[in-house]
Structure 1
């Protein structure tokens, strides 16, 4: 049987009998991938009484009906378990964690977001990390050192877009 390159969805073959089985299998997998949400991430044993449409991210050491399906998206359907192997960057909502889980570097990362910058209302509020602010030393002229450190803190906050310009 031929499959799609990205998600290994089954394709119809010319002259194929029972085409509805292939189409239904593809639709069941697409249903798992369209706006995916899972009950939990990293579970190794399948639940005993799943409801149709529920999904989980399989853990690293799966057992039972999930054996051999480590890190896949597992969904329960009227026809039984369906599995979809994740691709780099696939993001799902984890109900158990209350945040997104993203497949990156061969593992699922819960609640970790990667970005170049953060904007709120079109205004950058966080940018790339800059060098650390030096710890004040000495102590003979406390006021001058304190003002210099505060100036550096304010400059760093402005650079990160957390406060406006003076």
Structure 2
């Protein structure tokens, strides 16, 4: 096989005059099939599964054992030819079937289930934006309206709980 690989996914490249080009080409297709838009069965697993099925992938844990040793935090995929590994790049995302969430590689580790953004829109309507400054609790006044104060306090508590305003 050739030593020439692509910069991002380390897919093997064909060389001029190379014999058995189909092996290099098939290896590249296998790696693409496993690691382009990856879906994993679990994240942080240190022991390879005993009976993997071709096409299944996992994110290796921090202290891998067996054939996964030396591949901490990598993607591990099983193919008909055995284990294939992908070193994650910053910004790589995977879908985790075990908890139906996305994981993002930040350059040193995987963030699981964290959604990042500057606002949330549903049907083109912004429903959540960046956290706003705190709102003072109601107090005092010339007329004591306990129900109004309790309602306002409940609204503020909900806003605090959801992180929409600072506590």
TM-score, normalised by the number of residues in structure 1: 0.82
Contact 2:101–2:112 (8 Å) recurs in 1: yes
**Residue 29 of structure 2: which of 21, 27, 30 is its match?**
27
* Match in the other structure for 1:126: 128
Is the Cα–Cα contact under 8 Å of residues 12 and 28 in structure 2 kept in the other structure?
A: yes
- Between the aligned partners of 1:138 and 1:115, the Cα distance in structure 2 is 39
Secondary structure of 1:16's partner?
coil
* Secondary structure at the counterpart of residue 111 of structure 2: strand
Partner residue of 2:72 out of 70, 73, 92: 70
The structural deviation recorded for 1:143 is 4.0
2:93 and 2:103 in contact (8 A); partners too: yes
Q: Secondary structure at the match of 1:53?
A: coil
- Residue 18 of structure 2 is matched in structure 1 by 16
Counterpart CA distance in 2 for 1:91 and 1:135 is 41
Q: 2:50 aligns with which of 33, 42, 48?
A: 48
Q: Which residue of 1 aligns with 2:82?
A: 80
Give 2:61's aligned residue. Answer: 59
Q: Distance in 2 between matches of 1:109 and 1:141?
A: 50
Q: In the alignment, is the contact (CA less than 8 A) between 2:89 and 2:107 conserved in 1?
A: no
What's the secondary structure of 1:100's corresponding residue? strand
1:94-150 deviation line (CA, Å, top 9, x unaligned): 111221111124111111111111111011111111112223456876449949x67
Alpha-carbon distance between aligned partners in 1 of 2:8 and 2:107, rounded to the nearest angstrom: 17
DSSP 3-state at the match of 2:105: strand
Number of aligned residue pairs: give it: 154
Structure 2: gaps of 5 or more residues: none
Q: TM-score, normalised by structure 2?
A: 0.81
Which ranges of 4 or more aligned residues in structure 1 deviate by more than 6 Å? none
Paired with 1:113 and 1:104, the residues of 2 have a C-alpha distance of 13
